[in-house]
């Protein structure tokens, strides 16, 4: 009962926060308007991220042991939430978003003095230590995670379900090690469940909402930071290569889309309808089928990563396997897009 109570509180606060913030968002123009890339009916409130943060903030302050590192994370997540909210309302430029993301990543890294010191034994015979480059790589990882999650937000429920998969994997891995952080992913799971009730309209009494860039950035920051925490614990909860499996689908989608844009001579930050979920839509698959298949794929890869961690599979084998998964993913999506454009 002690474990489930904070989750119930988080879930309830998430629902209440959405109800309270919805009319405020509509009055202030914090809504998503339909356009060429965003095909939906009406103006949808972008309040999911704010509600998730409020729910997690309140319950984490009540049920997670207070520490300087937790407070710094909560401040950093509030800043990235604010940045995302500004982007939702005013459509900030790519340059402003990237600079702000670097500052937030720097705050959490230098404030806690936690960053990646090693990539483990991914080369097989020796540990790949990072020394001073670890700070830079951790900043890059945080920015990549934020934008990978953001790029997947193009289909109702998709980011929510992919986030559930990733937080579930992290909750499992962190709970195997005694530390103060294991409860945080569980709180996000509870808050996300509340959000998905509205986002997927799982009940006739609720109105549709979107997560918005505020939610995407919050989740991206939290996922990467929890992975860094887990890697850098005295008794590590996971190895660096395992992180690739936890957010495999968003990472692979981001990498393939950026490569496709660069190859075609367009900006890697130029928004388009070339993501995995757009591929399913263009192929004529239903929304439900697309959600199930993409989420199932993410779940399988995350489960493989967790199993490899539990059974201490060699890190170089995990890396080679992930690269093979990525090459297959890239080849299959490229072939599918070519076939669709020829129809």
Q: Which three-class secondary structure string do you get for 211-269?
A: CHHHHHHHHHHHHHHHHHHHHHCCCCCCCHHHHHHHCHHHHHHHHHHHHHHHHCCCCCC
User: For 149-194, what is each residue's pLDDT tens digit?
Assistant: 999 988 889 999 999 999 999 999 999 987 778 899 999 999 999 9
Q: In the 8-state DSSP scheme, what is residue 124?
A: S
Alpha carbon distance 115, 83 (integer Å): 23
Residue with tokens 């890059």: 140
Taking alpha carbons only, the member of 45, 34, 9, 341 closest to residue 206 is: 45
**pLDDT score of 37:** 53
Alpha carbon distance 262, 138 (integer Å): 24
What b/e readout covers 38-54, taking b as 16+ CB neighbours within 10 angstroms?
eeeeeebbbbbbbbbbb
Q: Give the start-to-end residue ranges of the domains of the chain.
A: 4-245
**pLDDT score of 42:** 65
Q: In the 8-state DSSP scheme, what is residue 44?
A: E
Confidence class of residue 269 from pLDDT cuts 50, 70 and 90?
confident
HSE-CB for 231 with a 13 A CA cutoff: 22
Alpha carbon distance 81, 160 (integer Å): 16
pLDDT at 16 over 90: yes
User: For 42-88, what is each residue's pLDDT tens digit?
Assistant: 689 999 999 999 999 999 999 988 899 999 999 999 999 999 999 99
User: For 303-325, what is each residue's pLDDT tens digit?
Assistant: 999 999 999 999 999 999 999 99
């Amino acid at each position: 009962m002690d474990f489930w109570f904070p989750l119930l509180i988080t879930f309830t606060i998430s629902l209440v926060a959405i109800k309270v913030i919805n009319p405020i968002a509509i009055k202030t123009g914090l809504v998503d308007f339909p356009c060429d890339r965003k095909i939906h009916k009406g103006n949808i409130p972008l309040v999911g991220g704010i509600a998730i943060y409020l729910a997690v903030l309140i319950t984490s302050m009540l049920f997670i042991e207070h520490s300087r590192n937790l407070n710094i994370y909560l401040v950093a997540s509030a800043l990235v939430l604010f940045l995302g909210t500004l982007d939702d309302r005013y459509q900030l430029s790519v340059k402003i978003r990237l600079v702000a993301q670097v500052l937030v990543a720097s705050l959490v890294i230098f404030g806690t003095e936690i960053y990646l010191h090693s990539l483990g034994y991914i080369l097989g015979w020796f540990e790949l230590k990072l020394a001073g480059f670890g700070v830079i790589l951790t900043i890059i990882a945080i920015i990549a995670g934020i934008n990978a999650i953001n790029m997947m937000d193009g289909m109702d429920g998709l980011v929510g379900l992919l986030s559930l998969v990733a937080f579930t994997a992290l909750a499992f891995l962190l709970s195997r090690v005694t530390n103060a952080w294991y409860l945080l992913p569980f709180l996000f799971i509870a808050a996300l469940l509340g959000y998905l009730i509205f986002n997927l309209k799982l009940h006739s009494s609720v109105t549709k909402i979107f997560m918005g860039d505020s939610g995407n950035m919050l989740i991206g920051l939290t996922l990467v930071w929890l992975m860094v925490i887990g890697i850098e614990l005295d008794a590590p909860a996971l190895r660096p290569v395992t992180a690739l499996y936890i957010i495999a689908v968003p990472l692979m989608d981001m990498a393939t889309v950026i490569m496709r844009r660069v190859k075609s001579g367009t900006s890697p930050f130029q928004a388009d309808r070339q993501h995995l979920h757009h591929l399913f839509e263009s192929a004529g698959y239903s929304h439900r089928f697309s959600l199930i298949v993409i989420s199932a794929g993410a779940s399988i890869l995350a489960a493989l990563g967790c199993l490899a961690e539990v059974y201490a599979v060699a890190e170089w084998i995990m890396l080679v396997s992930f690269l093979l998964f990525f090459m297959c993913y890239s080849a299959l999506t490229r072939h599918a897009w070519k076939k669709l454009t020829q129809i």
